[in-house]
Amino acid sequence: MSATTEVVPLVMPDFGNSMEEGVILDWKVQVGETIRVGDVLCEVETDKAVMEYEAPHGGRLARIVAHANTVVPVREVIAYLAESDEALEAVLQTETEAVASPQSPPDSPSSAPPATTTPPAVPSAVSQRSPQSHGADRRLKISPAARMVASQRGIDVSNLEPGSGPHGRILSSDVPPPVSPDQAAEITTSPSPTFSHLEMTHMQGTPASEPRGAWQSSTPQLSLQMTIDAAPLLAKCREQERECGCTLTDLIVLASGQTLMEFPALRSQLQQNSLIQLPQANVGIAVEGNEKYLTPVISGVNRLSLPQLVTETKRVISQAKVGEQFDTSARLLTIFDLGMFGVEKFSAVITPPETAILTVGTVREKIVVDHGSMRPAQVMTMTLSVNHQIVNGFVAARFLSSLRKKLTASPCIDFE
């Protein structure tokens, strides 16, 4: 067996959902360990969730290239499997020579410079991150112990210099001692702003770039708004809450799933200039996370009764909040409810692969005109935003109208 066949590069996997890069959070195996296909190698943070990377090949882990807290583009090498260190070095040296040889013709013996040792090839995603440039990284390289020490000493970790650990990682020994009161009195300071500069994590950085990409892309977004009489819905919620502990959002999710089955266009996804139509209603629910909102998905809402939906909703939300991975590739519609915060109405940006997002405002009292007479009413505003490449305005309007009928007329929702 040649040396080349003994060496297998492991690359940053593509977990889907337009993933471009990931952050290595933690390696679960050590260099020198023998791994099997399916073993969990490391945890990878994408812009949507924390995923486990399972080994696609078995063998001996010879080298880790991308250590913890390193941002790596998709398909860049993060580690190597090799039967021996010698085999790995031979392959890397061969690759280095192959890359270097075409760059300059061989000089004559008289003019050749002194020979130098070429370091092994390293993926560009890692080689560009020197210990002195951690400010350009999306995550601060600091150990948990160092972060705790800095917090106890009242030190802002974002002001610390690169540490003595691997790749500039800040260790507890790198945290400076606290300033004594006497030393502080000698320092003359001017009034400073009452905010701290914090580096964005990978998940925080994604929403900052997504809206601009969404609006500047060729995918148009159409939004329609409708205010409905919420009194029947509130009555249904109170009745069903005693039976199965449902919430207002549960009823909206159930009605939305049933309505999706009436409109094939809203059950379609745009994938590489072709439409893929799904046979079931997969609905995401926006829930608050530590850094951004999460969208766990309930599959086949159209096949669930209300008690089943309540149970499944609690399960997927609990999994999402503790960082468990969930598949969002089949999400068609997301329900985004901010009514509990008193928000009356709002719209949201569609995040692929979903085709639509429905935002829900708070139930509020309003004077309405009913058959020529004014009366107080409880109303709720919903905003439906759709991918206009897939769903036109007429279809979106009919979807909202059908959903309104289900939410305001009890016979229209099938609770069983």
Domain residue ranges in the chain: 3-101+120-127, 214-412
* CATH of the structural domain 214-412, one choice from 1.10.287.470, 3.30.559.10, 3.20.190.10, 3.40.1670.10: 3.30.559.10
**Tokens for 1?**
């067996």
Portion of the chain with pLDDT greater than 70, in percent: 71
The residues, ordered by sequence, that sit 6+ positions from 187 with a Cβ below 8 Å of its Cβ are 179
pTM: 0.53
pLDDT given for residue 100 in this prediction:
62
pLDDT digits (tens, 9 = 90+) for 23-74: 898 999 999 999 999 899 999 887 767 888 999 999 999 999 999 988 889 9
Residue of higher predicted confidence among 388 and 186: 388
Q: What is the pLDDT of residue 254?
A: 96
Integer Cα distance of 253 and 257 in angstroms:
6
The 3-state DSSP class for residue 271 equals: strand
If phi > 0 it is left, if psi is from -120 to 50 it is alpha, else beta; for residue 270 that is: beta
Fold of 3-101+120-127: OB fold (Dihydrolipoamide Acetyltransferase, E2P) (2.40.50)
Q: Tokens 């009436």 — which residue?
A: 262
236 by Cβ neighbours in 10 Å (0-12 / 13-18 / 19+) ranks as buried
